[in-house]
């Protein structure tokens, strides 16, 4: 309710904000009058101020030459004196020009064949200008992407779906949408994500307290653009190894005046899956809908106030089918062996089980943002208040059929087929009602006077997570049931069952309940932050000595609570078995549903033994924890700028004090007492950067920095928890033990970066090549060990510090937003990244090496091309992403390593204007019909899991007013 109350307040009262203005700085100018595009490019190079020009007006205009020392705004006005262009908006970050017709003349209407963007696209050219300005003038290696309502595809149009078009960015998908991003092969937990420079709260996948930020729930329409900083100076947060993601809020001053944008759309998710056939009502097979809106205006005597409000709603179906097949190894005599390292292994894989899972899933998102701004003229003051709230709710039904094979029998085995005996069959239904709300309030005060600038920001971001999960399972043990299987896991085709010797043994089976369970999870995270920054003479184009200094305090709080109820096994539930005529994707056997609704099920009719009651209490207590972390940082950064070269040297002191509260137990009995543990560490984080501007618009960046990666709260605070008998007989372990490690040290990284950028086409285009290397000590991984005690097999997992990791790579990118061909305009963006890494760690006391870091692919390729079609005031766009396979977990042996297979996804969109303020837009998501595979093996060479989701088709009705 807290989330929805804030949402209502934002939309009803326009609580919004950003305080940002410019008292123009002064620079020495030497700009000739050759052409306006060249002059504006030179102006941007000197001042760092991006200038947005109305489409079709820049060519053929001859500016005045500008020479000498003057303030930036006066220089721009002098440049345009006597032309048909004037400055309609100006601040220290950007300027907007408007076309002013000569006295007594009206502005000509563009001819239909003129190269002209859609009106909405022209409105957002400011964001694109800022992106190019950031890269051209930044002393940090940065890649940016602007918000554009036409070019950001998908109804969700999240920050994650935008960022995956940038160099070195890999998607970690949830269904067919990216949820997290990995930067340069580094775990999402090691990115630092901010809104207007303040840390964004995000609980993690299941509320369990990771540091990765769910960017699937963060909409782009509250932003002007997003920056990814890949090198580090002392002026940035030091707790990032991948990079810093900073979302720049949209401003009412990005537009000339009143502006309104509305996008209403329908969705057809083409894959129905089990929806409508699983015995449950209320799950759509295909259809969904949504809306997005942005309204902004400026008011006051001098238009010094601005307000901008955004909202969004979406209800979407994301049905999918998953298939899993783990592996068994046999020797030449047909006897099972545990590892392929056995000298007697026959070099033929066989499945230990075959599982298919059906998910009928609906996702509802609702939220909005508001920002109120004040920019009094001639004061150098900018002020704002920004607030947002977004809620995501999922209603998911997961049905599973699991066929387990008898490892003591195999016949007719070849490299790609065989016959096995089915030992047991499980049918499971799991229902989730995920609810996640993300909220924030940020105040921003910015004052500029000459070469001095002070920025004070304070904010509070928080996220809540809630889930009720009933789990119902039944199982049967058929007699003399055999299955033929086939597949080629080494070439991407997992093993699947082709044929059952007697299907009636399944249809006439007696089913018994197994691990009927209820689980409630609640988690909340909050981050209050205060930050103050001062800089002197470090703006783009500055000369001589400059400095930056600042202070930041933030407190990270998380609380996790879980409640479990485990009911007795063995009840006869044969009447709950529903033998359907539904065949899942690439599944040759009719699916057996456990046809109960856990949300309305009468759980009171089940019995609970004293042992299960004790286990329920134990699991409920031992899962809980609290964690608090206080970060106090201060920094000093010294700049010295020559006409062509900038030197930056600085240090950031990162000081952390943390406290964890973990439950305790004795002899398997949980206590109500919590153990409190305190810890602290302080790290000096030095950095040194050189930026040199060569002739012909070539910039060279060289950077060294040190940064850290903090352990996740759950890695420190989770108590030792033992779970026995909870698998579907797919694990060799009888019991699993998981525990945190309060002695974990933060990762420490030495970062080396060299980047070369070539700007061309009047700064509309840039070619970049970047080399990076990271030497990481105390990397963190999950150590898994298996041991036997009293005749039972135990699997224990603990986070540990590795000895060392190394990652290096090269990024190449090309971008041009103004490629003119035969009267048409094309935008092109393409990039490729190659990475190589390795990590040393201990497993069961043995020093091991893996030739990849977790989440590090070898190759990434991203690209987008947009064809602007003036005749219809529209365009055609295609985006493509290729992620190479990457490691997600280390097994007990290298052969048990797990990962995500390589993926290629293509999306397309087409839009055109149908009326003055109305456009239609059509999209196809996942045009390639991509399947998502999980892989295993020492080289991730075997496919053991495939998920299929199908395509999504969108139709948008877009209305805009400006």
Query: DSSP states of 592-603 as a string?
Result: EEE---TTT--G
Q: Which residues contact 575 (CB under 8 A, 6 or more apart)?
A: none
Cα 557 to Cα 46: distance, rounded to the nearest angstrom: 44
Cα 764 to Cα 779: distance, rounded to the nearest angstrom: 40
Q: Which residues contact 851 (CB under 8 A, 6 or more apart)?
A: 837, 838
Burial of 358 (C-beta count, 10 Å sphere; 0-12/13-18/19+)? buried
**Cα 636 to Cα 236, 340, 458, 550, 633, distances in angstroms:** 11, 55, 20, 7, 11
**pLDDT of 31-41, one tens digit each?**
876 677 777 87
pLDDT at residue 699, as a whole number: 94
Between residues 98 and 314, the one the model is more confident about: 314
User: CA 554, 556, 558 angle in degrees (round to 5)?
Assistant: 165
pLDDT at residue 317, as a whole number: 87
Q: Which of 703, 659, 656, 712 is nearest to 684 (CA)?
A: 656
| 788-805 as b/e: b if 16+ CB within 10 A | eeeeeebbbebbbbbeeb
Length of the chain: 962
Q: Which of 900, 799, 887 is nearest to 850 (CA)?
A: 887
DSSP string, 766-784: EEEEEEEEEEEES-EEEEE
Strand duo 931-936 + 898-900: pairing: antiparallel
pLDDT at residue 638, as a whole number: 97
- Would you call 474 helix, strand, or coil by DSSP? strand
Here the tokens at position 575 are 């009447």
81 pLDDT tier (thresholds 50, 70, 90): confident
What is the percent of the chain with per-residue pLDDT over 90, rounded to a whole number? 40
58 pLDDT tier (thresholds 50, 70, 90): low
Cα 930 to Cα 859: distance, rounded to the nearest angstrom: 18
- Would you call 5 helix, strand, or coil by DSSP? helix
8 Å CB contact between 416 and 341: no
Q: What are the residue ranges of helices labelled H in 150-197?
A: 159-163
Cα 74 to Cα 89: distance, rounded to the nearest angstrom: 13
| CATH architecture of residue range(s) 258-961 | Beta Barrel (2.40)
8 Å CB contact between 799 and 780: yes
**pLDDT of 585-594, one tens digit each?**
888 888 999 9
- 665 dihedral zone (left: phi>0; alpha: psi -120 to 50; beta): beta
CATH fold of 26-99, please? Answer: Phage tail protein beta-alpha-beta fold (3.55.50)
Range from 163-177, 238-252, 611-625 that averages highest in pLDDT = 238-252
| 166-178 as b/e: b if 16+ CB within 10 A | bbbbbbbbbbbbb
Residue 197 has pLDDT above 70, yes or no: yes
Average pLDDT over residues 99-118: 43
Between residues 486 and 54, the one the model is more confident about: 486
Cα 777 to Cα 766: distance, rounded to the nearest angstrom: 35
- Provide the whole-model pTM: 0.85
Q: State the span(s) of the chain assigned CATH 2.40.170.20.
A: 258-961
**pLDDT of 734-759, one tens digit each?**
567 777 788 888 999 999 999 999 98
458 pLDDT tier (thresholds 50, 70, 90): very high
8 Å CB contact between 120 and 960: yes
Cα 677 to Cα 928: distance, rounded to the nearest angstrom: 51
Cα 497 to Cα 484: distance, rounded to the nearest angstrom: 6
Enclosing H/E stretch for 532: strand 517-536
- Would you call 178 helix, strand, or coil by DSSP? strand
The terminus-to-terminus CA distance of the chain in angstroms comes to 35
Cα 577 to Cα 429: distance, rounded to the nearest angstrom: 11
Enclosing H/E stretch for 46: helix 36-47
Torsion of CA 221, 227, 228, 234, to 10 degrees: -130
User: CA 631, 636, 637 angle in degrees (round to 5)?
Assistant: 125
The β-bridge partners of 464 are: 437, 524
723 pLDDT tier (thresholds 50, 70, 90): low
Average pLDDT over residues 174-203: 90
Within 13 Å, how many C-alpha atoms sit on residue 499's CB side? Answer: 6
The β-bridge partners of 300 are: none
User: CA 90, 94, 95 angle in degrees (round to 5)?
Assistant: 45
Here the tokens at position 881 are 């992403």
Q: State the span(s) of the chain assigned CATH 3.55.50.30.
A: 26-99
Q: Which of 325, 327, 328, 326 is nearest to 356 (CA)?
A: 325
**pLDDT of 637-662, one tens digit each?**
999 999 999 999 999 999 999 999 98
The residue whose two tokens read 């000595």 is 545
Cα 839 to Cα 187: distance, rounded to the nearest angstrom: 14
Burial of 69 (C-beta count, 10 Å sphere; 0-12/13-18/19+)? exposed
pLDDT at residue 20, as a whole number: 35
pLDDT at residue 28, as a whole number: 73
Q: Which of 743, 599, 722 is nearest to 679 (CA)?
A: 743
The residue whose two tokens read 């003229």 is 377
DSSP 310: E
Sign of the torsion formed by the C-alpha atoms of 414, 415, 418 and 422: positive
Q: Which residues contact 258 (CB under 8 A, 6 or more apart)?
A: 296, 297, 298, 961, 962
8 Å CB contact between 867 and 824: yes
Residue 271 has pLDDT above 80, yes or no: yes
Within 13 Å, how many C-alpha atoms sit on residue 489's CB side? Answer: 30
8 Å CB contact between 519 and 598: no
Here the tokens at position 679 are 């810890």
**Cα 323 to Cα 144, 276, 399, 402, 515, distances in angstroms:** 37, 20, 12, 10, 22
Here the tokens at position 456 are 């004070």
Cα 877 to Cα 205: distance, rounded to the nearest angstrom: 32
Cα 797 to Cα 787: distance, rounded to the nearest angstrom: 12
User: Mean pLDDT over all residues of the chain?
Assistant: 84
Cα 758 to Cα 221: distance, rounded to the nearest angstrom: 30
pLDDT at residue 704, as a whole number: 97
Q: Which of 904, 905, 893, 902 is nearest to 934 (CA)?
A: 902
Q: Which of 51-65, 549-563, 633-647, 871-885 has the lowest mean pLDDT?
A: 51-65
Within 13 Å, how many C-alpha atoms sit on residue 415's CB side? Answer: 6
Cα 120 to Cα 407: distance, rounded to the nearest angstrom: 63
DSSP 411: B
The residue whose two tokens read 């057996």 is 592
The β-bridge partners of 876 are: 867, 910
The residue whose two tokens read 């056939």 is 277
Average pLDDT over residues 283-306: 90
8 Å CB contact between 327 and 368: no
Between residues 568 and 17, the one the model is more confident about: 568
Q: Which of 830, 823, 839, 817 is nearest to 897 (CA)?
A: 839
């Amino acid at each position: 309710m807290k989330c929805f109350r804030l949402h209502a307040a934002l939309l009803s009262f326009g609580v919004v904000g950003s305080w940002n203005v410019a008292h123009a700085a002064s620079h020495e100018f030497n700009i000739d009058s050759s052409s306006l595009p060249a002059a504006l490019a030179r102006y941007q190079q000197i001042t760092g101020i991006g200038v947005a020009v109305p489409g079709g007006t820049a060519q053929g205009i001859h500016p005045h030459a500008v020479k000498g020392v003057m303030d930036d705004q006066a220089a721009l006005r002098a440049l345009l004196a006597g032309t048909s262009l004037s400055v309609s908006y100006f601040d220290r970050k950007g300027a907007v020009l408007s076309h002013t017709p000569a006295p007594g003349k009206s502005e000509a209407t563009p001819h239909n064949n003129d190269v002209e963007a859609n009106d909405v696209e022209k409105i957002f050219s400011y964001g694109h200008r800022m992106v190019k300005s950031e890269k051209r003038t930044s002393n940090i290696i940065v890649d940016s992407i602007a918000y554009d309502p036409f070019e950001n595809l998908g109804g969700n149009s999240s920050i994650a779906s935008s960022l995956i078009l940038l160099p070195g960015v890999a998607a970690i998908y949830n269904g067919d949408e990216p949820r997290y991003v990995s930067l340069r092969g580094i775990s999402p937990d090691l990115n630092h994500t901010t809104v207007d420079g303040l840390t964004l709260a995000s609980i993690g996948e299941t509320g369990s307290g990771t540091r990765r930020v769910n960017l699937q729930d963060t909409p782009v329409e509250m932003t002007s653009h997003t920056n990814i900083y890949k090198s580090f100076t002392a002026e940035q947060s030091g707790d990032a190894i991948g990079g810093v993601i900073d979302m720049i809020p949209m401003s009412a001053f990005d537009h000339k005046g009143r502006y309104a944008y509305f996008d209403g759309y329908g969705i057809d998710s083409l894959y129905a899956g089990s929806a409508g056939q699983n015995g449950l009502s209320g799950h759509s097979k295909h259809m969904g809908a949504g809306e997005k809106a942005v309204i902004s205006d400026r008011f006051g005597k001098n238009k010094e106030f601005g307000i901008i409000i955004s909202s969004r709603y979406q209800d979407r179906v994301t049905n999918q089918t998953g298939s899993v097949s783990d592996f068994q190894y046999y020797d030449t005599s047909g006897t099972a062996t545990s590892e392929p390292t056995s000298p007697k292994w026959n070099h033929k894989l066989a499945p230990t089980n075959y599982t298919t899972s059906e998910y009928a899933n609906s996702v509802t998102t609702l939220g909005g943002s508001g920002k109120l701004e004040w920019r009094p003229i001639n004061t150098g003051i900018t002020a704002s208040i920004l607030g947002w709230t977004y809620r995501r709710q999922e209603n998911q039904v997961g049905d599973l059929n699991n066929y387990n094979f008898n490892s003591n029998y195999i016949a007719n085995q070849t490299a790609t087929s065989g016959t096995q005996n089915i030992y047991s069959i499980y049918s499971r239904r799991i229902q989730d009602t995920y609810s996640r709300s993300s909220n924030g309030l940020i105040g921003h005060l910015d004052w500029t006077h000459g070469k001095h600038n002070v920025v004070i920001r304070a904010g509070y971001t928080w996220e809540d997570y809630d889930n009720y999960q009933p789990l119902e399972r039944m199982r049967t043990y058929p007699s003399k049931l055999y299955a033929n299987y086939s597949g080629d896991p080494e070439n991407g085709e997992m093993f699947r069952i082709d044929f059952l010797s007697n299907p009636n043994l399944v249809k006439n089976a007696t089913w018994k309940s197994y691990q009927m369970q209820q689980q409630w999870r609640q988690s909340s995270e909050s981050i209050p932050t205060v930050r103050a920054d001062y800089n002197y003479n470090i703006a783009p184009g500055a000369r001589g000595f400059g400095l930056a200094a600042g202070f930041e305090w933030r407190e990270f709080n998380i609380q996790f609570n879980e409640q479990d109820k485990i009911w007795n096994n063995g009840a006869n539930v044969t009447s709950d078995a529903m033998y359907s005529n539904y065949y899942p994707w690439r599944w040759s056997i009719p699916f057996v549903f456990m046809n109960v609704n856990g949300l309305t099920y009468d759980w009171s009719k089940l019995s609970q033994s004293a042992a299960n009651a004790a286990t329920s209490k134990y699991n409920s207590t031992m899962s809980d924890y609290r964690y608090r972390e206080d970060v106090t940082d201060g920094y000093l950064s010294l700049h010295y700028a020559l006409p062509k070269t900038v030197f930056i040297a600085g240090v950031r002191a990162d000081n952390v004090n943390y406290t964890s509260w973990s439950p305790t137990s004795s002899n398997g009995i949980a206590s109500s007492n919590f153990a409190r543990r305190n810890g602290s560490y302080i790290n000096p984080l030095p950095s040194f950067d050189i930026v040199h501007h060569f002739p012909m618009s070539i910039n060279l960046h060289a950077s060294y920095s040190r940064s850290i990666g903090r352990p996740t709260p759950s890695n420190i605070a989770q108590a030792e928890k033992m779970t026995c008998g909870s698998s579907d007989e797919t694990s060799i372990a009888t019991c699993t033990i998981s525990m945190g490690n309060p002695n974990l040290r933060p990762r420490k990284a030495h970062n080396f970066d060299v980047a070369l950028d070539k700007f061309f086409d009047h700064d509309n285009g840039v070619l970049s090549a970047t080399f990076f290397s990271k030497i990481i000590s105390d990397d963190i991984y999950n150590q898994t060990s298996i041991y036997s005690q009293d005749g039972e097999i135990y699997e224990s997992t603990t986070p540990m510090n590795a000895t060392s990791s190394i990652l290096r790579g090269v990024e190449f990118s090309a971008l041009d937003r103004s490629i003119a061909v035969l009267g048409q305009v094309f935008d092109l963006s393409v990039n490729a990244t190659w990475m190589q890494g390795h990590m040393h760690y201990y497993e069961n006391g043995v020093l091991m090496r893996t030739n990849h870091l977790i989440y590090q692919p070898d190759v990434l390729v991203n690209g987008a091309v947009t064809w602007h079609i003036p005749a219809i005031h529209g365009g055609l766009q295609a985006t493509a992403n290729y992620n190479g396979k990457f490691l997600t977990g280390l097994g007990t042996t290298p052969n048990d390593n797990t990962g995500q297979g390589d993926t290629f996804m293509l999306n397309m969109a087409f839009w055109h204007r149908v009326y003055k303020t109305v456009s239609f837009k059509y999209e196809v998501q996942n045009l390639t019909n991509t399947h998502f595979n999980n892989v295993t093996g020492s080289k991730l060479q075997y496919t053991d899991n495939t998920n299929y989701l199908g395509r999504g088709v969108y139709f948008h009705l877009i209305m805009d007013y400006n």
